[in-house]
Amino acid sequence: MPRYEFRCRACGDTFEVNRPMAEAGRPATCPQGHADTVKLLSTVAVTGRGGSAPSGGIPSGGGCCGGSCGC
Ligand SMILES: [Zn+2]
Protein backbone atom coordinates (compact mmCIF):
# COMPACT_ATOMS: atom_id res chain seq x y z
CA MET A 1 0.00 0.00 0.00
CA PRO A 2 1.53 3.34 -0.98
CA ARG A 3 2.48 5.79 1.67
CA TYR A 4 1.65 9.45 1.46
CA GLU A 5 3.09 12.29 3.44
CA PHE A 6 0.95 15.12 4.67
CA ARG A 7 1.66 18.32 6.49
CA CYS A 8 -0.71 19.98 8.87
CA ARG A 9 -1.09 23.68 8.32
CA ALA A 10 -2.58 24.15 11.73
CA CYS A 11 0.32 22.85 13.82
CA GLY A 12 3.02 22.39 11.16
CA ASP A 13 3.44 18.71 11.87
CA THR A 14 4.15 16.23 9.12
CA PHE A 15 2.75 12.74 9.16
CA GLU A 16 2.45 9.75 6.91
CA VAL A 17 -0.65 7.93 5.87
CA ASN A 18 -0.91 4.50 4.33
CA ARG A 19 -3.86 4.34 2.04
CA PRO A 20 -4.84 2.82 -1.28
CA MET A 21 -4.08 4.82 -4.39
CA ALA A 22 -7.78 5.27 -5.00
CA GLU A 23 -7.90 7.41 -1.87
CA ALA A 24 -4.66 9.30 -2.49
CA GLY A 25 -6.41 12.58 -3.14
CA ARG A 26 -8.63 12.48 -0.11
CA PRO A 27 -7.82 14.81 2.75
CA ALA A 28 -6.10 13.38 5.76
CA THR A 29 -6.57 14.40 9.32
CA CYS A 30 -3.61 15.41 11.44
CA PRO A 31 -2.77 13.13 14.38
CA GLN A 32 -3.54 16.14 16.54
CA GLY A 33 -7.02 16.29 15.07
CA HIS A 34 -6.58 19.16 12.63
CA ALA A 35 -8.27 18.89 9.28
CA ASP A 36 -6.29 21.62 7.50
CA THR A 37 -3.66 19.43 5.89
CA VAL A 38 -1.88 19.37 2.55
CA LYS A 39 -0.43 16.38 0.77
CA LEU A 40 3.30 16.61 0.15
CA LEU A 41 5.11 15.30 -2.86
CA SER A 42 6.67 11.91 -2.53
CA THR A 43 10.20 11.79 -1.19
CA VAL A 44 11.35 10.61 -4.59
CA ALA A 45 10.31 13.86 -6.21
CA VAL A 46 11.86 16.02 -3.51
CA THR A 47 15.42 14.82 -4.13
CA GLY A 48 15.75 16.69 -7.42
CA ARG A 49 17.55 19.62 -5.79
CA GLY A 50 20.94 19.89 -4.18
CA GLY A 51 23.19 19.78 -7.21
CA SER A 52 25.25 16.72 -6.32
CA ALA A 53 25.97 16.13 -10.01
CA PRO A 54 26.90 19.18 -12.04
CA SER A 55 25.97 19.25 -15.68
CA GLY A 56 29.58 18.93 -16.79
CA GLY A 57 29.31 15.19 -17.16
CA ILE A 58 31.90 14.31 -14.52
CA PRO A 59 31.16 10.84 -13.17
CA SER A 60 30.40 10.79 -9.49
CA GLY A 61 31.68 8.15 -7.16
CA GLY A 62 35.05 6.49 -7.49
CA GLY A 63 38.16 8.52 -6.71
CA CYS A 64 38.52 12.01 -5.38
CA CYS A 65 38.54 13.48 -8.83
CA GLY A 66 36.74 10.90 -10.92
CA GLY A 67 39.89 9.02 -11.86
CA SER A 68 41.87 11.59 -13.84
CA CYS A 69 44.60 11.88 -11.21
CA GLY A 70 45.11 8.18 -10.73
CA CYS A 71 44.24 8.14 -7.06
ZN1 LIG B 1 -2.15 19.47 13.25
Q: Can you give the pLDDT of all 71 residues of the chain as single tens digits?
A: 889 999 999 999 999 999 998 988 888 999 999 999 999 876 544 445 555 555 666 566 655 666 677 66
Any domain includes 10: yes
Determine the distance separating the centroid of ligand 1 and the alpha carbon of 45, expressed in angstroms: 24
Length of the chain as a residue count: 71
Determine the distance separating the centroid of ligand 1 and the alpha carbon of 31, expressed in angstroms: 6
Any domain includes 53: no
Any domain includes 20: yes
3 state SS of 46: helix
Distance of alpha carbon 26 from alpha carbon 70, whole angstroms? 55
Any domain includes 62: no
Determine the distance separating the centroid of ligand 1 and the alpha carbon of 1, expressed in angstroms: 24
Please list, in sequence order, all residues whose beta carbon lies within 8 angstroms of the beta carbon of residue 25, skipping any fewer than 6 positions away: 39
- pTM of the shown model: 0.55
Any domain includes 52: no
29: left (phi over 0), alpha (psi -120 to 50) or beta: beta
Determine the distance separating the centroid of ligand 1 and the alpha carbon of 10, expressed in angstroms: 5
Any domain includes 31: yes
Provide the pLDDT for residue 63. Answer: 57
Instruction: Count how many domains the chain has.
Output: 1
| Residue 22 host element (H or E) | none
